[in-house]
Structure 1
Amino acid sequence: MKKVAFYTLGCRVNTYETEAIAETFIKHDYELVEFDEFADVYVVNTCTVTNIGDKKSRQMLRRAKRINPESCVVAVGCYVQVAPEEVEKLEDVDIIIGTKDKGKIIELVEEFERNKRKIKHVENVMSIRQFEELEIDEYQDKTRAFLKIQDGCDRFCSYCLIPFARGPVRSRKPENILKEVEKLASNGYKEIILSGIHVASYGKDLKDIDLVDVIEMIQKVDGIERIRIGSVDPTFFSEDKINRLKNIEKFCPHFHLSLQSGCDETLKRMNRHYTTEEYKIVVENLRKTFEDVSITTDIIVGFPGETDDEFAKTYEFLSKINLSKMHIFKYSPRRGTKAAEMKEQVKESIKENRSHKLIELDKKLEEEFINKFIGKTMDVLFEEYNDGYYWGYTKNYIRVGTSFNKDLSGQIFNVKILESRENKAIGRVEMEVK
């Protein structure tokens, strides 16, 4: 039996696509092994959001060939799509595939094994109009399943290459979404995480359907206990959509609202389509509507032209709005974007300093958020065991650990939160949720 190994960089969509590709190999009688083990085929699903993503992608491709010089090494995904010539020059790579036709990977591997010649399969994604189906029957994670329902982006933020890597918005047909959800439910999955490159755009290319319609549809599937959504643009959340979501019992009150900056001048240069005041109104509406709501975000520091005054506005805005978690990124110039050509690029030392300040603020805000739930009893879907604790997540995405005398994995229990420890919660099991 031939062996195949995978390494995934980047977002949840990449995670989903890797799972689907892995399943294709398994169905063709390959054995799935860890990436640092000897394999016949290595697949690296690349990321190009930052320069670090590009660099890491190259490192993993080289590492694969060192483990087995006779292996077939496949580079696939966003980095390949935006820099095909650069990836093609890497001696350690045998097959390069962009973000289209990932489902053809087996036949391309078979072609390489016959001819032993490098294969380049990168097409123009800007002309694609159809969602590429990559179904998954069996996930490695037995509790939560990422479900890709959308691809592409038409926002063209000035710092981002993703629209060029993924092409225009394409939505998965609702009947195909429902079919996969039902299959996942029958295999014991309790939580579905709806993912996409710009998931709020779901339905833009279809007729009379949007993201909330899909959530309402999944709500009716027996066996699915939770529905969660990935990162969503704040402009999506009209009062009507918020009220509809409130009536979906299985919907998780956890919203990842991408902000990027707390300064309107910076947001304008980023080509973001909202102001800080509009963002604040959405946050307030969500807090009024959902009990125990968790709102998380992404922040970029050191964007071109970000002055000390602009950063101070961001820091003040974040201090006042009290989000439950922030992911802090230092701006990384991407060749081919408008931001990379902007004057007044910020020094790395300044980015580092600003990043450190926001990371410290994030630790404080996250601890304050978790502390609000000490003494409360919350539903926790347990996933794994390590360091003497079973770990899982509440509906509002607090990581909770508990010690127990039987395996809790894949089950939902009522847990009383007893303490906060290193921005995680520790609790005591009260009873199983039937």
Structure 2
Amino acid sequence: MKVAFSTLGCRVNVYESEAMVEKFVRDGYSVVDFSEKADVYVINTCSVTNTGDKKSRQIIGRARRQNSNAIIAVVGCYSQIAPKEVSEIKGVDVVLGTRNKGDIVYYVNKARDEKKIQIEVGAVLKNKKFENLQIEDYRDKTRAFLKIQDGCNRFCAYCLIPYTRGAVCSKDFDVVLNEVKQLANKGFKEIILSGIHTASYGVDLEGNISLVTLLEEIEKIDGIERVRIGSIEPSFFTDEVVEKCKNMKKLCPQFHLSLQSGCNDTLKRMNRRYTAEEYEKIVNVLRENLEDVSITTDVIVGFPGETDEEFNETYEFLKRIKLTKTHIFKFSPRTGTKAADMENQIDGNKKEERSKKLIELNKFNENNFTESLIGRELGVLIEHEVKGEEGVYEGYTKNYVKVHVHGIKPQNIGKIIKIKILASKGDYAEGKVVE
């Protein structure tokens, strides 16, 4: 029996798909590419934007065309928020939400045996228990993602995540540490701690447990040389936290700090819990205390009510603070959020115009940061050979700059090699091995 996966959305979804793949393999399935004919197709959906829902439906149709007799399972955020809609899509056999992916093989086999659609979508807002979907055999042997948290309690005006993922819940502290030790024993040099709202790790656990206490304990584990944090709220970095981070040798100086807007009025309508001034102060504190720190972010353009003046505030803010990289998203109204019902929705052409302006600014800032590293000798974790470029290998510095290197041997994949940065190529750097 063959199974194929298509995964949309965030790194948490990617992690959960890998864990589900393992469950199928243990049940005797072989994994094939989604473009191939398979007996089972699993679509792990995203519902952050309307585009995500639409793309999920298109992929379902594609799977059905590839094999009209296959079992099609739709899981994740889209099926959590709209299970009835998903179940009515022609050809869907299994509908699961976001907190019961661990039972995917059971429901797929049941759908085949009973020849009846299986729907199991619980009320996540009431579910505060962490579902431990663990990956045991990573296909990528260089960096390992480790999901430590799920859910969000923030309820930003534009976001459906609390309704699709539910309340904050954290993986048990000792379980996380044991998994990190297992990854170290398997030879991993870097782990990425990820979650839906990673900064809230531990708030639902007993005892004085937090993301910081977890980082401090991982610091003591031999074998792991790098620890990276997924997207995180700027308010996480209090003076006390920054002081502790200064003493962590393994913590990567690269943080994806959520911004969304550089205008306070827009931030307030979004229900974000900081001001542009507070954000800038945190950026400056990190730069003053952590060497070579790289800060990336997300920005939404065209949020309801965003005037030209408000957008210009965001543009000038980003121009001033010079972040390493900015991911720009055009606002997409999601039914069920406050923002979808707000007045003064922005015209699509205006969103496109603003998006292009920020993309150009991002290219300039990204290139400047890479250029600032020219001449430096930095550790690069070698990951794989660059596609289409024989003898050229790709890896990342501790502050997450992509580097292409000649002269690396295949046996150095998974190792941290000292590389001298020679040139900036925009979204990556070129370097050579330090003899």
> Do both proteins adopt the same fold according to a TM-score greater than 0.5, normalized to the shorter chain?
yes
Residues 74, 66 of structure 1: alpha-carbon distance in 2 compared, 3 angstrom cutoff:
same
Partner of 1:215: 215
Say if 2:255 is the partner of 1:252: no
Q: CA deviation at 1:422?
A: 3.0
Q: Distance in 1 between matches of 2:3 and 2:433?
A: 40
Partner of 2:178: 179
**Aligned with 1:184: secondary structure?**
helix
Partner of 1:32: 31
Partner of 1:394: 397
| Paired amino acid for 1:319 | K
Give deviations 1:91-134, integer Å, cap 9, x for gaps. 12110000111111111111111111111111100110111111
Where do residues 206-355 of structure 1 align in structure 2 (5 Å cutoff)? 206-207=205-206, 208-355=208-355
Partner of 1:366: 366
**Aligned with 1:135: secondary structure?**
coil
**Aligned with 1:178: secondary structure?**
helix
Q: Distance in 2 between matches of 1:140 and 1:300?
A: 33
Please tell me whether the aligned partners of residues 97 and 122 of structure 1 are also in contact (alpha carbons under 8 angstroms). yes
Q: Distance in 2 between matches of 1:66 and 1:179?
A: 43
**Aligned with 1:145: secondary structure?**
strand
| Paired amino acid for 2:409 | K
Q: Distance in 2 between matches of 1:30 and 1:95?
A: 17
Partner of 1:93: 92
| Paired amino acid for 1:33 | V
Q: CA deviation at 1:178?
A: 1.1
Please tell me whether the aligned partners of residues 20 and 136 of structure 1 are also in contact (alpha carbons under 8 angstroms). yes
Please tell me whether the aligned partners of residues 23 and 136 of structure 1 are also in contact (alpha carbons under 8 angstroms). yes
Give deviations 1:56-101, integer Å, cap 9, x for gaps. 1111111111111111110000011011111111012110000111
Q: Distance in 2 between matches of 1:136 and 1:182?
A: 14
TM-score, length basis structure 1? 0.98
> Identity rate of aligned residues, in percent?
55
Q: Distance in 1 between matches of 2:409 and 2:229?
A: 30
Please tell me whether the aligned partners of residues 319 and 361 of structure 1 are also in contact (alpha carbons under 8 angstroms). yes
Q: CA RMSD in A?
A: 0.9
Give deviations 1:317-344, integer Å, cap 9, x for gaps. 0000010000000000000000000000
**Aligned with 2:312: secondary structure?**
helix
Q: Distance in 1 between matches of 2:41 and 2:186?
A: 28
Out of 418, 423, 428, which is 1:424 matched to?
Answer: 428
Where do residues 374-393 of structure 1 align in structure 2 (5 Å cutoff)? 374-386=374-386, 387-388=389-390, 389-393=392-396
Please tell me whether the aligned partners of residues 370 and 426 of structure 2 are also in contact (alpha carbons under 8 angstroms). no
Q: CA deviation at 1:405?
A: 5.1
Please tell me whether the aligned partners of residues 366 and 426 of structure 2 are also in contact (alpha carbons under 8 angstroms). no
Partner of 1:198: 197
Q: Distance in 2 between matches of 1:22 and 1:249?
A: 34
Tell me the matched-pair count.
430
**Residue ranges of structure 1 left out of the alignment (5+ in a row):** none
Which is further off, 345-354 or 17-26? Answer: 17-26
**Residue ranges of structure 2 left out of the alignment (5+ in a row):** none
Give deviations 1:365-419, integer Å, cap 9, x for gaps. 0000010000000000011112232001000000000111521321110000000
Residues 230, 405 of structure 1: alpha-carbon distance in 2 compared, 3 angstrom cutoff:
closer
Q: Distance in 2 between matches of 1:219 and 1:327?
A: 30
**Aligned with 2:434: secondary structure?**
strand
**Aligned with 1:90: secondary structure?**
coil
Please tell me whether the aligned partners of residues 138 and 187 of structure 1 are also in contact (alpha carbons under 8 angstroms). no
TM-score, length basis structure 2? 0.98
| Paired amino acid for 1:422 | G
